[in-house]
Structure 1
Amino acid sequence: MLNGQMPIFILKEGTSRDQGKNAQKNNIDAAKAIAEAVRTTLGPKGMDKMLVDSIGDIIISNDGATILKEMDVDHPTAKMIVEVAKSQDTAVGDGTTTSVVLAGEFLKQAEELLEQGVHPTVIANGYRLAVNQAKKELDAIAKDVKDDKSLEQVARTALSGKNIGLGGDMLYKLIVKAVNAVAEEKNHKFTVEPSSIKIDKKSGGSVNETELIMGLVIDKEKVHSKMPSVVNDAKIALIDSALEIKKTEIEAKVQISDPSKIQDFLDQEVDTFKEMVSKIKKSGANVVLCQKGIDDIAQHYLAKEGIYAVRRVKKSDMEKLAKATGAKLVTNLDDLSASYLGSAKKVEEKKIGDDRMTFVTGCSNPKAVSILIRGGTEHVVSEIERALNDAIRVVAITKEDGKILPGGGAVESELSLRIRSYAASVGGREQLAIDAFAKALEVIPRTLAENAGMDPINTLIQLKAEHEKKNINTGINFSDNKVSDMYAIGVFDPLKVKRHALESAVEVATMILRIDDVIASKKSAPSPGGQGGMGGMGGMGGMPPY
């Protein structure tokens, strides 16, 4: 009540409001809780999470983005942290757990400064100065990728810790082969489109049976049993229209008064299909992959001509087939000619598990390839698929960027040291925030050590000692549970992944720090008589009068 006047309520009934330090504490606690949820999954010895959804479906994964996507997060600040993982996953495909753990730690360190009376804007400015300096230092530490061996080590590091059974050594070589196959070089710079690598999965069999096909696998069988199961020296036609008689746009009825005309009508339909098949045969095609349907009569005549045909192939697969075989998509059969056909050494139908699939193999210089994943159970196969998707993206950006960093917490340990010395040169209150940033970076080697069952304090002391001696590539060796040179044991991280993880973690941390008021509205139930809740002006959910 102000000067004896009635209180003025400006927000809807049921609206809750947190202000000042209380709002900041709630937000930071929510962010720390999300970071804590995924922290144990970090590194090659990280643990997995089992996620069970409302209908009982199970996902077992240690991929940060997958875990956070499947968690039913309700708190608005926690949702912002989940967005960090999504953004990291979309941009570079890996480092999702790192970015979330860093964001949580930046906020934890900021909380201590807030309690000492440092203003949130000062902390935000300090963090921005620190991340800009960190990016410069990353560029200085990074080394060039020399050969495929380095790319294999990048893939190996990305796959380490994923639940992929015994096939890891074979998988990272397979990933590099796939990326090299679809990479295109222009002006001595590579561009890689990860979507050109198609991943198919079939449970049953062993992880070691996972294979790279220099061509494409389509999860479809031939449309007619009389068609050949194997076509050598395949000439492939990609047709994106239906091999069916089109229905008219307007409703029409055909009345036949003379019974003898019925057969003529049916013959005419058959002739139409015969003509379609003869156009295909004339072009020289012996394999037809159709995006839409193929009529039963057309199937019969295609089988008669010994042409292998598949129908209802996905549009994305048609585009990849064009890249793999060199074929051009045809909409009108009249346009089909030898120049539109693609080629492959072999097209065959194979039974994989319980399903029949079409394999297009032996393409010369394919710009789209397939990886067929095998594994004991559906859950194993799904986790391998997630791991491969991450590793393919990581190898692709390393191929494009050509820069790598030492892994195993070596980069964070070195950055922490360099940012501390940079803080001294800045001075002022921002120096406190830059120091906090440097301290927060140590969460990565500390967590890696914890997850590997090592003593985190001793490990950090050893890392600091080595980095002070200018051994900038020293990180945690998980094979022997000690610190050693990461380049010597082949543990590499791509520069782009680290840079993006730091940027996105700082962005979300500074955004959360600057929030000092959380106003959450709730939908109020309509009051009796349909007056839109006018009757409840009294209790405004703790709202102060203005």
Structure 2
Amino acid sequence: MAARMAGQPAYYSGNRNQRTRGHDAQSINILAGKAVANAVRSTLGPKGMDKMLVDSLGDIVITNDGATILKEMDIEHPAAKMVVEVSKTQDDEVGDGTTTAAVLTGELLTKAEELINKGVHPTIITSGYRQAAAKCEEVLGTITIDISPEDRTALKKVASTALTGKGEGELQMDLLSEIAIDAVLSVAEKTDSGYKVDIEDITIEKHEGGSIKDTELVKGLVIDKDRVRPNMPQRVDNAKIMLTSFAIEFNKIEKDAEIKITSPEQMQLFVDQEERMIKAKVDNIIQTGANVVFCQKGIDDLAQYYLEKAGIYACRRVKKSDMEKLARSTGATIVQDDTEILIEDLGYAESVEERDLKGTKMTFVMGCKDAKAVSLILHGGTTHIVDSLKRALNDALRVVGVCLEDGKVVVGGGATEVELAMRLRQYASTLKGREQLAVNGFADALEVIPQTLAENGGIDPIDILVEMRSQHEKGNKRAGVNVYTGKVVDMWDENVIEPLRVKTQAINSATEAAVMILRIDDVVASSGKSSAGGMPGSDVELGE
């Protein structure tokens, strides 16, 4: 450690740390961010390509969903992880537009690098980017289209846009769009301020077998479990449902213990006592009047026998998430102790039934106390198809839910980005400082979306961009690229519309991530413990 003398800064350094400073640090961070964005760029749009991801265990994921790709990739660089976080946040908040958010972040970093190389300070760039993002939000308010929650046609356009380019989801777009709308409307809660939608109320169960067109919406809960014994009733009407988080089996001795048995009679006493304990647990359940039991843990063979004799329908090893949904839907309380079971803990459903779905048995809980409980059963020829279908349908559910809550949409096909870019350039001309350069750079970055849509559709991006700019200059705010025909057309007429929140979230999160990366000028990375004589720690400047 160097001593502080004559106002000089003092430094403390670990012996095995790596440090990158100044322009080099910025260049490396920008390069990492751009690399992540480029990894998903080719998946954007209806004609985007898929990625095959194989993990260390050999499990395969085939998708063009930006958030899924980035989540499955093994990314270590801290700046690259920030771009992954942008995509994850977009997925959590809106469900769609994840690739757009990642690609936009990468392009903002690319334009910033060009300005840095010209001598513009990163602080000026970040200031300009923030002004541009604020202006985008203002402009978006002027080009949004209001839709009514009752306008099923508009909601179907939104769902179809989310499903477009999602592989298997595109094959049955009309069917899946209708299912998505019905599911969201079933769980939507009308409040004084509008609609509130919790997509978690929709249970999605996957089933390999059949075709995509067999996918169905069930007004109730579907639990991927069957009865523990075939002689239990297959269907229970007026179901009084008990939910238990404890195991219905003999309580094993947790501590190390040794039991000495010296005679057959003692052995018989031990077995009898075990049976009595199991029967006591079952009797506690029976006396409440429950005729259906969902257990989060195991059910002993003997307990199964007693439950069967009592005519109770029982399922074991039910997922915790399903238990919580059952509690929410049926009004039951999840019981944690078999000695404290009360009648008030029971939930209610009109019926509980085991059904055979092409060889797979599942439990259907219908007519729940909370009518908002709905389930989707997805069908497909292979595991990969069903997984892809689930991701596509999840996007459609989320965007329909966002539309119900906000009631505002914008057109897609790159039309919104070109309109924003044009308005930003007009705004930049009113600025006097160097921020003008950053705002123009932001405008250029936005145009990466229509460019990428054209590239992925096999169309010349320069011709398309020139034509789109010309149309927007003439006042055609909805002019976007139709990647199937290669023409610039009105996106509203083409039924390509997206929730406003998809755009605002993508622009804001991309801007924040780019600004954060650009403000870093010193990267200290620890490569392990310091060698003898040094203390573990990072390079830290202790100067004035």
Task: State the AA in 1 paired with 2:350.
Answer: A
**Alpha-carbon distance in 2 for matches of 1:472, 1:312:** 55
Judge conservation of contact 2:331–2:370 (CA < 8 Å) in 1: no
Judge conservation of contact 2:19–2:522 (CA < 8 Å) in 1: yes
2:207 aligned residue (202, 210, 220): 202
**How much does 1:438 deviate?**
0.9
Match for residue 112 of structure 2?
Answer: 110
Judge conservation of contact 2:44–2:456 (CA < 8 Å) in 1: yes
Task: State the AA in 2 paired with 1:121.
Answer: T
Residue 227 (structure 1) aligned with residue 235 (structure 2): no
- Superposition map of 1:181-192 within 5 A: 181-192=186-197
**Alpha-carbon distance in 1 for matches of 2:259, 2:106:** 72
Judge conservation of contact 2:26–2:518 (CA < 8 Å) in 1: yes
Judge conservation of contact 1:15–1:520 (CA < 8 Å) in 2: yes
**How much does 1:83 deviate?**
2.3
**Alpha-carbon distance in 1 for matches of 2:246, 2:18:** 57
**How much does 1:145 deviate?**
2.6
Judge conservation of contact 1:215–1:325 (CA < 8 Å) in 2: no
1:303 aligned residue (304, 308, 315): 308
Q: Which structure 1 segments of 5+ residues have no match?
A: 1-7, 535-546
Match for residue 161 of structure 1?
Answer: 165
Residue 54 (structure 1) aligned with residue 56 (structure 2): yes
Residue 320 (structure 1) aligned with residue 322 (structure 2): no
Which secondary structure state, in structure 2, belongs to the residue aligned with residue 294 of structure 1?
Answer: coil
2:244 aligned residue (239, 245, 251): 239
**Alpha-carbon distance in 2 for matches of 1:22, 1:279:** 70
Judge conservation of contact 1:420–1:434 (CA < 8 Å) in 2: yes
Match for residue 148 of structure 1?
Answer: 152
Task: State the AA in 2 paired with 1:79.
Answer: K
Which secondary structure state, in structure 1, belongs to the residue aligned with residue 168 of structure 2?
Answer: coil
**Alpha-carbon distance in 2 for matches of 1:221, 1:198:** 17
1:470 aligned residue (470, 475, 483): 475
**Alpha-carbon distance in 2 for matches of 1:339, 1:53:** 44
Match for residue 133 of structure 2?
Answer: 131
Residue 341 (structure 1) aligned with residue 343 (structure 2): no
1:421-444: per-residue Cα shift (whole Å, max 9, x none)?
Answer: 111122221111111111111110
2:391 aligned residue (373, 386, 389): 386
**How much does 1:533 deviate?**
7.7
**Alpha-carbon distance in 1 for matches of 2:287, 2:19:** 74
**Alpha-carbon distance in 1 for matches of 2:26, 2:278:** 71
1:370-403: per-residue Cα shift (whole Å, max 9, x none)?
Answer: 2222211111112222222233222222222222
- Superposition map of 1:269-288 within 5 A: 276-277=281-282, 280-288=285-293
Match for residue 523 of structure 2?
Answer: 518
Match for residue 448 of structure 1?
Answer: 453
Residue 93 (structure 1) aligned with residue 99 (structure 2): no
Task: State the AA in 2 paired with 1:42.
Answer: L
Judge conservation of contact 1:324–1:369 (CA < 8 Å) in 2: no
Match for residue 492 of structure 1?
Answer: 497
Match for residue 6 of structure 2?
Answer: none
Which secondary structure state, in structure 1, belongs to the residue aligned with residue 430 of structure 2?
Answer: helix
More displaced 10-residue stretch of structure 1: 306-315 or 429-438: 306-315
**Alpha-carbon distance in 1 for matches of 2:78, 2:356:** 49
Q: Percent identity?
A: 53
**How much does 1:503 deviate?**
1.0
Q: Which runs of 4+ in 1 moved over 6 A?
A: 248-265
More displaced 10-residue stretch of structure 1: 337-346 or 285-294: 337-346
**How much does 1:339 deviate?**
7.6
**Alpha-carbon distance in 2 for matches of 1:457, 1:261:** 89
More displaced 10-residue stretch of structure 1: 37-46 or 453-462: 453-462
**How much does 1:112 deviate?**
2.1
CA spacing shift, 1:259–1:119, aligned 2, 3 Å: closer
Judge conservation of contact 2:327–2:347 (CA < 8 Å) in 1: no
Task: State the AA in 1 paired with 2:152.
Answer: D
1:127-180: per-residue Cα shift (whole Å, max 9, x none)?
Answer: 110001111111222222312332222221111111215223211221222222
**How much does 1:317 deviate?**
0.8
- Superposition map of 1:356-505 within 5 A: 356-363=361-368, 366-505=371-510
Judge conservation of contact 1:323–1:367 (CA < 8 Å) in 2: no
**How much does 1:98 deviate?**
0.7
Match for residue 71 of structure 2?
Answer: 69
CA spacing shift, 1:519–1:242, aligned 2, 3 Å: closer
CA spacing shift, 1:270–1:523, aligned 2, 3 Å: closer
CA spacing shift, 1:520–1:311, aligned 2, 3 Å: closer
Match for residue 350 of structure 1?
Answer: 356
Match for residue 79 of structure 1?
Answer: 81
Match for residue 538 of structure 2?
Answer: none
Which secondary structure state, in structure 2, belongs to the residue aligned with residue 489 of structure 1?
Answer: coil
CA spacing shift, 1:33–1:305, aligned 2, 3 Å: same
CA spacing shift, 1:459–1:274, aligned 2, 3 Å: same
Judge conservation of contact 2:295–2:316 (CA < 8 Å) in 1: yes
Cα RMSD after superposing both structures: 3.0
Judge conservation of contact 1:234–1:347 (CA < 8 Å) in 2: no
CA spacing shift, 1:377–1:113, aligned 2, 3 Å: same
**How much does 1:479 deviate?**
4.4
Match for residue 7 of structure 2?
Answer: none
Judge conservation of contact 1:215–1:362 (CA < 8 Å) in 2: yes
Match for residue 22 of structure 1?
Answer: 24
Match for residue 38 of structure 1?
Answer: 40
